[in-house]
Amino acid sequence: MADKYVDGGFFISLEGSEGVGKSTQARMLAQALRREGYAVRETREPGGTVLGEELRRLLKHLTGDDAPCPEAELLMMGASRAQLVRQVILPFLQTGGIVICDRFADSTAVYQGFARGLKPELIEHMQRAVTRQRWPDLTLILDLETEEGLKRSHLRAAGAPLDRFDGESREFHRAVRKGFLELAARHPERIRVIPAAGSETEVHLRLLEAAENALA
């Protein structure tokens, strides 16, 4: 049972390129913080609500001529985020809990901005509308060499077809990694870059240390 609360809540997002292990690390971080006595809610983007999960399916698996164009992709991400913020994130933060989100608004700036080439002004306008000005208190970017991340993605798929993002070109994935590192340089007050090389436990301990320092 939770016995530690944070005034106004504490919002942590995990970011990074494909194959860096965000989902696993988000789960491990949530478990560790619960053991420390915090109330923790895990969620993900796109997804986290009934609407968001349906948009996630469409975003990840519509391919070919039916695939969303960059502008449609941006708006679908925004719709998922607006629902998640209103329905899940803000209510839980108001209880004094910790929200851990597997991807948030930084992914949109990187994937639809740096990698897809949409104008920053368009993305920023959408972000202001859907986040309700509630950005993460701490963003942990898991960083890994692009080739290693893609190798992990293919192993994770275990022969099944890759989803639309995993299957993008190497140039796309390199742009994604570069975009995340540029965001980290712009926002050092909020973003920490965590090396994702090594065992799951090694990476977890790096993330946990960063989260505990921020909470302290």
Taking 50 as the pLDDT cut, the residues of the chain under it are none
3-state SS, residue 116: coil
Q: Over the chain, what is the mean pLDDT?
A: 95
- Which tens digits make up the pLDDT trace of 146-175? 999 888 887 876 767 778 998 899 999 999
- Which tens digits make up the pLDDT trace of 29-42? 999 999 999 999 99
Q: Catalogue all structural domains in the chain, each as residue range(s) with its CATH number.
A: 10-215 (3.40.50.300)
In contact, 123 and 108? CB cutoff 8 Å:
yes
- Position 132 scores a pLDDT of 92
- Position 159 scores a pLDDT of 67
DSSP E strands in the chain: the ranges are: 10-16, 40-44, 98-102, 138-143, 191-195
pTM of the model: 0.95
Q: One-letter amino acid identity for 3?
A: D
- Position 2 scores a pLDDT of 80
